[in-house]
Amino acid sequence: MAANFVSEIWGLFFTLGIFIVILEFREWLEWKSVEDRVKKRIGRQIRMLFAELSIFCEVERVHFDPHSKEKRIKLIEKQLNTLASEKIRFTKEANEDLLKKDLRLRYERLLDSKRNNLGRIEERYSKFLGSEVRASLMDIQEYLDGLSLELRVRHIKNTVFFESISNLVGKIMKEILKLKRKGIWEDW
């Protein structure tokens, strides 16, 4: 009786092991079929976020041939590296626009939609995304939430307002740069 019990236990473990391996393999195959699409979707969201935030920042802006992809890629890469490594300074126009309540509220809604889009992607595919990618997406969402709050609550011209926004934008740019280095943002 003991021999039958032990052999049945081993048989159950073996069957359970095969079942787990088959399920994991099936999930891996499903992920591989959508991996590129998910990365492109995340890349598109962070590219749009970069474009929206960099408009307000003082970075090198060069007029280049719109048909020259290499020059555009080099300029965007230079802008991203600058914004991720230096203290963010806003343009004169951005400083004025950020003091207008209606523009701030529109921008806040835009940032909320970006945060929600990234949140849905991260929630839906978190099982398959690497921990570093998930952490960066979570950090970006947190910083966007803080940025939205700053835009919603503060409305007076003071240095604390601009420093707070500047710090949050800098943190977002650092996370975007991390994602770019992880291969999420490949096509510009």
Roughly what angle, to the nearest 10 degrees, separates helices 2-54 and 159-181? 130
- Expressed in percent and rounded to 5, the helix, strand and coil fractions of the chain are 80, 0, 20
Contact 98, 90 (CB under 8 A): yes
Contact 118, 67 (CB under 8 A): no
Residue 188 lies in a domain: no
Residue 153 lies in a domain: yes
Q: Specify the pLDDT at position 140.
A: 94
Residue 187 lies in a domain: no
CA 47 to chain centre: 9
Q: How many residues does the chain have?
A: 188
- Number of helices followed by number of strands (H, E) in the chain: 6, 0
Q: Specify the pLDDT at position 63.
A: 64
Contact 143, 103 (CB under 8 A): no
Residue range of the domain that includes 140: 2-181
Task: Please calculate the CA angle 64-90-51 and round it to the nearest 5 degrees.
Answer: 45
Q: Specify the pLDDT at position 10.
A: 85
Integer Cα distance of 31 and 87 in angstroms = 39
Residues 140, 145, 147, 151: what is their CA dihedral angle, to the nearest 10 degrees? 160
Residue 87 lies in a domain: yes
Q: Specify the pLDDT at position 135.
A: 92
Q: Specify the pLDDT at position 158.
A: 66
Per the structure, the count of domains in the chain is 1
Residue 106 lies in a domain: yes
Q: Specify the pLDDT at position 144.
A: 93
Q: Specify the pLDDT at position 120.
A: 92
Residue 24 lies in a domain: yes
Bridge partner residues of 45 (DSSP): none
Residue 51 lies in a domain: yes
- Residue 185 CB-density burial (10 A; 0-12 exposed, 13-18 middle, 19+ buried): buried
Residue 132 lies in a domain: yes
Contact 21, 79 (CB under 8 A): no
Averaged over successive runs of 10 residues, the pLDDT of the chain (188 residues) comes to 77 88 82 80 90 85 68 81 85 84 86 92 84 91 91 70 86 91 73
